[in-house]
Amino acid sequence: MRRFGQVIKVRPGKLAYYKELHANPWPCVNRMIKECNTQNFTIFYKDGYLFSYFEYTGDDYEKDMAKMKADSETQRWWKETDPCQEPLETCKPGEWWAE
């Protein structure tokens, strides 16, 4: 098992909507998270930042994350959540959540 911690900012005025989305996550998104060998996925909030923690139990992280990224329902979910988030200034090019 690999453990991951990540951080991202919440855009001003978007926290309430972000919390609303995550209070009722779409079943298809939860299913895809499990299919991609991710468990104990939790997001915490503090002072404008979101901190995520999850455990990966598979044997090919890049393949599983590519599967999740290719899923149309996950893409639709991210169209709702991404506008609520803002990557850190120190993120690598193309990185959304900083590890």
What is the pLDDT tens value at each position of the chain, 99 positions in all?
999 999 999 999 999 999 999 999 999 999 999 999 999 999 999 999 999 999 999 999 999 999 999 999 999 999 999 999 999 999 988 899 999
Asked, for residue 47, whether it belongs to a domain, the answer is yes
Structural domain boundaries enclosing 71: 2-86
CATH of the domain at 61: 3.30.70.1090
**Straight-line distance from the first to the last Cα atom of the chain, in angstroms, rounded to the nearest whole number:** 16
pTM for the full predicted model: 0.89
Sign, CA torsion 48/9/14/33: negative
| Helices first, then strands: H and E counts in the chain | 4, 4
Write down the residue that tokens 């926290």 correspond to.
15
Q: How many domains does the chain have?
A: 1
